[in-house]
Structure 1
Amino acid sequence: MYKQRMNHVLTKMQEQGLTQLLISEPSSVFYLTGVRIEPGERFMGLLLRSEKAPVFFIHRLFPVTPQGIAVVGFADADDYLSLVAAETDRQKPLGIDKHLFAGFLIGLMERKAASAYVNGSPCVDLVRAVKTADELQKLRIASELNDKTIEIAKNSLRIGMTEKELEQIILQTYKDLGADDISFPPIVAFHENAADPHHENSNRRLKAGDMVLLDIGCKKDEYCSDMTRTFFTQEPTADERRVYELVRQANAAAENYIRPGMRLCDIDEAARSVIRAGGHDREFTHRLGHFIGMDTHEYGDVSAAYDWPVQPGMVFSIEPGIYLAGQFGVRIEDLIIVTETGCEVINHVPKEITVVSLN
């Protein structure tokens, strides 16, 4: 499996005119080797070469034996960047991924490790963007855990509870259901706090009539989930209903538009045009979606900035929102898998208006 992935990356390198690529992003190293290391401030690098075998550079604190890859270990006092430069072709450009710390890059430049230094991240990122059947199944399983968790969180709503208290219920539920970790800190936003798309949970207490926005995700077997739902605690007002239905229609418009060959920017526009027609274009303040896999936010946006045609096996979020400062916010987010004929939505929590009874 890992050799096949490396071969796909080597093909992308050839298309970009690169013969060598240094990969430092931990999730990409894991993707290509099966070795999961978070080196912190220390250097870690996987050097892929079209004409020679790969080499993995890692501090001796992390004893690893990736199959079929030579390992060069080093200690804190070693000149580890010179060890890297000894393995590169100094007469050719070196691809560098987006994760490499600037200090390491400057050190390689000082050692004249290559003739030039170019962004080589797309060589890996574009391969990771199209998931295998095994990866897709892991994403489905993580999303199934997320579905169960958000239902438990919804049913746990009580008058007087704080956002932070509901966050703790979500975290405990993930543990109880067997998740390995969270994809990101849960966002729990009551009513006016939901007008901040990246609200930080507070001691704001739940009141009757509040809207509740939950944006949560967990990890299982290295793969992430991510979903947002907005619930009501009493029948919505006419304005709340209008805004909610506008967001739901935008979500549906984008998901119905997706099929192979459609561009990411056009998928974004399919949702954005619905919200624009409803008079809230300025209150939809972010991209429609992001790619996801081993990382919550992987390379690629569903936005006007990306004109890629989508392919079967790509996985990304569809999450339109409207945020009315000082009033309330609504976001509805699903993860979708691009299929041969359209898309598969891997979240199954209903998106119709849901009114939760509070005790």
Structure 2
Amino acid sequence: MKVKRLNAVLEQMKKDNISQILISDPTSIYYLTGKLIDPGERLLVLYLNQNGNHKLFINELFPLDDDLNIEKIWFNDTQNSIKILSDNLEKNSTIGVDKNWPSKFLLSLIELKKNSKFINSSYIIDTLRLFKDEEEKDLMRKASLLNDEAMKKLKSIISDKFTEKQLVGELSKIYEKLGADGFSFDPIIAFAANGANPHGFAENNVVKPGDAVILDIGCIKDNYCSDMTRTVFYKKVPKKAREIFEIVLEANKRAISIVKPGVKFCDIDKVARDYITEKGYGKYFTHRTGHSIGLECHDVGDVSSVNTDEVKPGMIFSVEPGIYLPNEFGVRIEDLVLVTENGHEVLNKHDKELCIVG
């Protein structure tokens, strides 16, 4: 168990008067134990209690090393795992559960624990995960530097010999050669009009001279995620596309420049959005400016107009303004930013100035 993190969870439980919680999210279980288990459709629960009576409920299908210092409650596919879990919980009390726990488990447990109160306790670990310790910061730097190298290699092979889908396949090979552990999300590689859909999918389009090419890519390394977007142009840059690119680049730079402890997330969003609006393209910036990232590509927390929280040291999030002109093209530029004690550190080192490929 990660003792410092565990103690922080227990301390918050005590403050909020929650005696017991059920953690079912495999990523959060990894955060507290150092063991990553994908249970599929089966039950997996880390049970924490203020009195220290912690247990891990786990199917026999997933053997564990003995170095995990916690009581294990084993069950198999022929047993009623929810009944086993229920029998180990306190009676007539508040039970914290994860926000994404499947209803097939939660509803069955509610039926067995009719006199208990169930609440969403995910915020406890979600909040802790916002703040990266020194080990996590180094892992995030490592993942981002690997992503930088992948972006460099990907840009070098863009040509009309590859469709968007085929470039995704080539990116997978690049990551494998670099030692990454897979994609942190489905890559967005989009040419011309397909790039006007901010979260479009790679299709069978072939790049043409003058096309804007959106490359939104990320990998996992040692369980931590990277994410970066660069927009490049194939063989030449039309005048309008150059104008849009420079606006987005400046919005990205302005937003990043104000990041430091005490600044509100909504203020970071406002700097990027106001600049794009000032240039006449506000209605074409259709998404929030960024999202938190760590063990998951989209951790809880975002850079948006409604998030009035202040940024604090140890937080890592994306800054990714964009402009998307329907049926024409899109431009997005994204970096990951780590909040330091006195300012910020941009984790992506790969060049983001205007670039012509091919």
Bin of the TM-score, shorter chain as denominator length? over 0.9
Residue 301 of structure 1 and its aligned partner are, at CA, apart by 1.1
Structure 1 residue 248: Cα displacement = 0.9
Matched, 1:348 2:349: yes
Partner residue of 1:60? 60
CA contact (8 A) 1:93 1:114 kept: no
CA-CA distance at 1:87 after TM superposition: 2.1
1:87 and 1:263 map into 2 onto residues whose CA distance is 43
Residue 248 of structure 1 aligns to a residue in which SS? helix
2:159 aligned counterpart, secondary structure: coil
- Cα drift, residue 274 of structure 1: 1.1
Cα separation, 1, equivalents of 2:52 and 2:9? 14
Q: Name the SS for the 1:131 alignment partner.
A: coil
> Equivalents in 2 of 1:87, 1:310: separation in Å?
39
> Which amino acid in structure 2 is aligned with residue 9 of structure 1?
V
Matched to 1:277, the amino acid is: E
Residue 201 (structure 1) shift: 0.9
How far 1:66 moved relative to its partner? 5.5
Which amino acid in structure 2 is aligned with residue 41 of structure 1? E
Equivalent residue, structure 1, for 2:284: 283
- Report whether the alignment pairs 1:50 with 2:50: yes
Question: Cα gap change, 1:34/1:231 in structure 2, threshold over 3 Å: closer, same or farther?
Answer: same
Q: Corresponding residue for 1:190?
A: 191
Q: Deviations over 1:42-81 (max 9, x none)?
A: 1110011111321110111011246221000111221221
* 1:26 alignment counterpart: 26
In structure 1, how many angstroms separate the alpha carbons of the residues matched to 2:188 and 2:227?
11
In 2, are the aligned partners of 1:163 and 1:202 still within 8 Å (CA)?
A: yes
Please tell me whether the aligned partners of residues 187 and 216 of structure 1 are also in contact (alpha carbons under 8 angstroms): yes
Letter paired with 1:207: K
The answer to whether the aligner puts 1:272 opposite 2:298 as a matched pair is: no
> How much has 1:7 moved relative to structure 2?
0.6
Structure 2 contact 145–348 (Cα < 8 Å) conserved: yes
Equivalent position amino acid for 2:134 in 1: A
Secondary structure of residue in 2 paired with 1:47: strand
Q: Does 1:94 align with 2:98?
A: no
Q: Which runs of 5+ in 1 are unaligned?
A: none
Q: Quote the Cα distance in structure 1 between the aligned partners of 2:264 and 2:87.
A: 42
Q: Distance in 2 between matches of 1:220 and 1:158?
A: 28
Equivalent residues of 1:88, 1:113 under 8 A apart: no
Pairwise CA distance, 1:297: 0.8
Residue correspondence of structure 1 range 1-359 to structure 2 within 5 A: 2-64=2-64, 65=66, 67-112=68-113, 115-356=116-357, 358=358
Distance in 2 (alpha carbons) for counterparts of 1:310 and 1:15: 23
Q: Which amino acid aligns with 1:295?
A: E
What secondary structure is seen at the aligned counterpart in 1 of 2:338? strand
1:307 and 1:114, CA in 2 relative to 1: closer, same or farther beyond 3 A? farther
- Residue by residue, what CA displacement relative to the aligned partner does 1:278-328 show, whole Å, maximum 9, x if unpaired? 222221111111111111111111112322211111111111111111000
Q: Is contact 1:321-1:332 (8 Å) kept?
A: yes
Question: 8 Å contact 2:291–2:303 — kept in the other structure?
Answer: yes
Gap change, CA 1:158 and 1:327, over 3 Å in 2:
same
- Structure 2: which amino acid aligns with 1:215? D
More moved, 156-165 vs 41-50: 156-165
* TM-score, normalising length: structure 1: 0.96
Give the match's secondary structure for 1:182.
coil
Superposed displacement of residue 186, structure 1: 1.4
**Mapped partners of 1:245, 1:350: distance in 2:** 14
- CA displacement at 1:255 relative to structure 2: 0.6
Q: Distance in 1 between matches of 2:199 and 2:343?
A: 30
Structure 2 CA distance for aligned equivalents of residues 73 and 89 of structure 1? 19
CA distance in 1, matches of 2:216, 2:304: 20
TM-score, normalization by structure 2: 0.96
Give the Cα–Cα distance (whole angstroms) in 1 for the partners of residues 223 and 175 of structure 2: 15
Aligned residues: 357
Q: Percent identity?
A: 43
Shift of 1:82: 1.9
Deviates further, 8-17 or 287-296 = 8-17
CA contact (8 A) 1:160 1:207 kept: no
Deviation at 1:113, TM superposition (A): 6.7
Match of 1:270, SS state, is: helix
Aligned mates of 1:17, 1:247 — CA distance in 2 = 46
CA contact (8 A) 1:35 1:66 kept: no
